[in-house]
Amino acid sequence: KNQVEQSPQSLIILEGKNCTLQCNYTVSPFSNLRWYKQDTGRGPVSLTIMTFSENTKSNGRYTATLDADTKQSSLHITASQLSDSASYICVVTTGGFKTIFGAGTRLFVKA
Amino acid sequence: DGGITQSPKYLFRKEGQNVTLSCEQNLNHDAMYWYRQDPGQGLRLIYYSQIVNDFQKGDIAEGYSVSREKKESFPLTVTSAQKNPTAFYLCASSIDLYSNQPQHFGDGTRLSIL
């Protein structure tokens, strides 16, 4: 069964600290993996997208990694800001177009 | 600015009533999607459309209907047959179904039961 699991479910960190969010998937065949940021009451916004041959992709303070062998991805946030408080969603697309969404990690950044 | 507009932001449904959620995009995208988001769950696909006048059921299409008469518009009707419609509904679009480009999402409609 195609699944995307994210951990932790929620995370609280202090402003200025770094954090890493995890994503494990059992999707096959694999096409690409995306990370989205979703603010409360808003739609998700794309942060990064990685294909099978890419193992790292950065977008400002966000860096995503992909290990296609172990089927794991991580999203690292550097020097967190209050505006980073949001849900972060890992999404894996199969060889067709079907996308499987993780349930997300809810990040709270405290001053 | 190019983007996706969903309306209304909040919607309330009475028993036995059909309601329609609007989704408009000016990104010139061929593919459009409707998702349902429930607390603690990943987004689930309701319907998708690859091109005008064509649409396909997703994973949870029962109790929903759509139309795609124009490239820019993909309205979703939540019918009275949908017994648990309370959720956050998200519309998205992409260049096409198979592109590696990301989906662009609207800001959602929150539907509740009166």
Residue-wise pLDDT tens digits, B69-96 = 999 999 999 999 898 999 999 999 999 9
The residue-averaged pLDDT of A25-44 equals 94
**The pLDDT value given to residue B1:** 60
What pLDDT band is residue A96 in, cutting at 50, 70 and 90?
confident
Average pLDDT over residues B8-15: 92
Residues of A in contact with B103 (CB under 8 A): 46, 99
pLDDT of residue A28: 87
Nearest CA in chain A to B106: A43
Position B51 scores a pLDDT of 94
Do B43 and A89 lie within an 8 Å CB cutoff?
Answer: yes
> Minimal Cα–Cα distance from A65 to chain B, Å?
17
Chain A contacts of B105, Cβ < 8 Å?
43-45
CB contact under 8 A, B41 and A103: yes
Q: What is the arithmetic mean of pLDDT over A25-54?
A: 94
DSSP A60-99: TTEEEEEETTTTEEEEEE-S--GGG-EEEEEEEEESSS-E
B28-70 pLDDT tens trace: 999 999 999 999 899 999 999 999 999 999 999 999 999 999 9
Contacts of B106 (CB under 8 A, 6+ apart): A43, B3, B4, B5, B6, B23, B90, B91, B92
Contact of A45 with chain B, judged by CB distance below 8 Å, is answered with yes
CB of A34 less than 8 A from some CB of B? yes
The answer, yes or no, to whether residue B100 has pLDDT greater than 90, is no
CA distance B71 to B46: 18
Residue A13 has pLDDT above 90, yes or no: yes
Mean pLDDT, rounded, for A31-49: 95
Residues in A closer than 8 angstroms to B97, CB to CB, are 97
Is residue B2 predicted with pLDDT exceeding 80? no
Sorting pLDDT into bands at 50, 70 and 90, what band is B27?
very high
Residue A95: pLDDT above 80? no
Q: Copy the structure tokens of residue A5.
A: 């699991």
Q: Would strands A62-67 and A56-59 be described as parallel, antiparallel, or unpaired?
A: antiparallel
Q: Residue A99: list chain B partners with CB under 8 A.
A: 45, 103
